[in-house]
Amino acid sequence: MNRQTLLISDVDYTLLGDDEKLAEFANWYGRNKPHVRLVLTSGRFPDSIIESVETTLLPEPDVVVGGVGSEICFFPSRDVVPGWPVCQLEHWDGDRVRSILAGFARLEPQDDEFQSDYKVSYFLRDADPAELEQIRAMLLEQSIRAELVYSSQRDLDVLPHGCNKGTAAEYVAHYLGFEPCDVIVCGDSANDFAMFDYGFAGVVVGNAHPELKALDTPLVYQSPHECAKGVLDGIEYWLRRRAAEGMPESKAS
């Protein structure tokens, strides 16, 4: 029996962005669902991701990862996946983060709907590495160890140290019983970057931001195709590689 593949994909501008190509992906997933388990991951919170599942052609996932990895729940029950987050919460206090960073003039807090206990989000336009390091240092001075996820030259998410899309993907894969060699991750922006650090097969879609376009490792496939077509192209690439290397592969048809 062919073993399953775990597909972990970003949502906006990775799967979403081209309705025609999303329909092709949804059809492929429908045919291959017995062999593929799907995780949708996003900077958005789970309720927002699920709303997109209900109102677009996004296939129904097994698991939803929201808030840049800070929340994980099963679909459709919305039950929280046990044991997450496993980050260093003893060094985390969201309210203190907000208080400390209130003194950083260029930070503009995002609306309340984008905030949670484990995700403090700002607009910070065209930041350079020195600014991000200054923010990190401000927090460390107050004994706050934080993960800074900066994407689109605009969005800064401050999370507990060790909490991001990559650690969440690793946790889900382990929880569901998948080895790294059976996991494919797909993304388009810098907040997806951490997913490519855990030995998974990676797919960068053709419309990706420069940070991901610059990835050049044997485990990252740079698709020339955008959005869902790029995801499907990448899946087919990795399944062909798996077959060529003599490994059992998930069925693709």
Out of 3.40.50.970, 2.60.40.1930, 3.30.230.10, 3.90.1070.10, select the CATH number for domain 89-157: 3.90.1070.10
Confidence check: pLDDT of 134 > 90: yes
Contact 152, 43 (CB under 8 A): no
Give the tens place of pLDDT for each residue, 78-126.
Answer: 999 999 987 767 789 999 999 999 989 999 999 999 999 999 999 999 9
- Rounded CA separation 14/195 (Å): 14
Q: Which two tokens stand for residue 117?
A: 């206990």
Indicate the average pLDDT of the chain: 94
Give the β-pairing of 120-123 and 155-160: antiparallel
Confidence check: pLDDT of 17 > 70: yes
Out of 3.30.300.20, 3.40.50.1100, 3.30.365.10, 3.40.50.1000, select the CATH number for domain 5-84+164-244: 3.40.50.1000
Can you give the residue ranges of every domain in the chain? 5-84+164-244, 89-157
Write the single-letter amino acid at 118.
Y
Nearest to 156 by CA among 199, 123, 191: 123
Contact 201, 185 (CB under 8 A): yes
Q: Name the band, by pLDDT with cuts 50, 70 and 90, for residue 2.
A: low
